[in-house]
Amino acid sequence: MKLIVGLGNPGSEYASNRHNIGFMCVNHFGRTHGIRFDQKKGKSRVGTGVVDGVEVILARPQTYMNRSGEAVKALLGKYRASVDDLIVVHDELDLPLGRMRIRKGGSSAGNHGIESIIAEIGTPDFTRVRVGIGHPTEDPERTEVIGHVLGSFMPDEKKVIDEVIPRVTGALDCLLTDGLETAMNEFNRAPS
């Protein structure tokens, strides 16, 4: 069983924000595999299904980004899942727009949702699919960063994101069927 959590903020006013790329990606993965977010469990909207023989729980926390850990901790308990079962999809300021990086463990890199998860579950050792949203400037002020992550993608950026979201679905499929090392080798390089 794998618990795949997309990070974001609930509510239509945040739906197209850069910070919600995690929600966008798990939504696409769910649509691709016929999984609907038709349940409320563990402070999240949840959908369940089987993908390539693997039981999958998809979740979009409804706690807001900065408290994502509360939902992840509740979901791990509800489904009796281990940290090894957890895959988190989230935005990454330090990656160029549209780049993807899969890794296990490491720091939060300033992502408050990841900080919250690490604090709540007591370990950074879970798999992450980081999706680049780009950095607003080389030397950003805090307000610029907040405005950037809570802003919506510009039309030219949206084209890039529309290409990376299906790649994230492919990466998640690869994680489920072939494991972490293979997924990292295949998806951590720039698309050709």
112 is catalytic: no
The pair of structure tokens assigned to 53 is: 């023989």
Secondary structure (DSSP) of 132-191: E---S-SS--HHHHHHHHTSBPPHHHHHHHHHHHHHHHHHHHHHHHH-HHHHHHHHSSPP
The pair of structure tokens assigned to 20 is: 């919600």
19, 28, 33, 90: the active-site residue: 19
The crossing angle, in degrees rounded to 10, of helices 21-32 and 155-178 is: 60
In angstroms, the CA 14 to CA 93 distance is 17
In angstroms, the CA 137 to CA 162 distance is 23
Of 75, 70, 57, 65, give the one whose Cα is nearest residue 21: 65
> Which residues are paired to 101 by β-bridges?
130
Ramachandran area for residue 106 (φ above 0: left; ψ -120 to 50: alpha; else beta):
left
The pair of structure tokens assigned to 25 is: 């990606």
Give me the active site residues, please. Answer: 19
